[in-house]
Amino acid sequence: MDGMKKIILASASPRRKELLEKIGLKFEVEPGDGEEMPDSSIDPHKLALKISLKKAESVAAKHKNAIIIAADTFGVFNGKILGKPHTENEARKMLAIISGRSHLVITGFSIIDTGTNKVYSETVETKVYIRKLSSTEIDAYVKSKEPLDKAGAYAIQGLGSMIVEKIEGDYFTVMGLPLCALTEALKDFGINAL
């Protein structure tokens, strides 16, 4: 396998970049298109795959011999997709919905080798329990601006750590990139992080 193959992260997310750096991969960042319009009529797992693949393909088209990695993350509560709140009001509503309950966080990721046209996609799901929040706590959290543009209206690695009671599954899935599943999948592309 050609060790010179470029690895490209097709994501504008600073968290995904940080996570990939964690496992010591050398890569470039080139955000992919495929801004998610959550469509609740599609099974959430299928949707996460579809969006991550679309992001990967939009970047893959521009590179001859590269490995492209893309991902998409959202929350799911009662079958309804919790995307990114774009206003403080949306964030408040979303936090009120998940307060005192559990929801799922699904991250879909896709890997494309543009040299061999090999494609791999997978979704990983983690269950997150949010403690019961008072409206004062919700307001304070929303004022911090952290919930804006985060799937499910919280960042588990930030102040959100104070509202997440426990999780079942992979922590990094909630942050946006399931590192364990990703490193396993990358082995098939000749990339060994360990």
Query: pLDDT in tens for each of the 194 residues of the chain?
Result: 445 689 999 999 999 999 999 999 999 999 987 666 666 688 999 999 999 999 999 999 999 999 999 999 999 999 899 989 999 999 999 999 999 999 999 999 999 999 999 999 999 999 999 999 999 999 999 999 999 989 999 999 999 999 999 999 999 999 999 999 999 999 999 999 87
Number of C-beta neighbours around residue 123 at 10 A: 22
| pTM confidence score | 0.92
The amino acid at residue 17 is K
* Whether the Cβ atoms of residue 114 and residue 66 lie closer than 8 Å to each other: yes
pLDDT value, residue 37: 64
Round to whole Å and give the CA distance between 93 and 88: 9
- CATH 3.90.1640.10, domain 6-187, yes or no: no
Cα gap 13→23, rounded to integer Å = 16
Per-position DSSP letters for 11-35, written without gaps between them: ---HHHHHHHHHTT---EE-PPS--
Residues in the chain: 194
Taking the C-alpha atoms of residue 161 and residue 191, their distance in angstroms, rounded to an integer, is: 32
Give the C-alpha separation, 34 to 31, whole Å.
10
First to last CA, the chain: 17
H or E segment to which residue 127 belongs? strand 118-130
Q: For residue 35, what pLDDT is reported?
A: 62
Q: Identify the pLDDT of residue 1.
A: 45
User: Catalytic residue numbers?
Assistant: 72
Q: Cβ atoms within 10 A of the Cβ of 114, count?
A: 22
Q: What is the predicted pLDDT for the residue at 156?
A: 94
3-class DSSP assignment, residue 75: strand
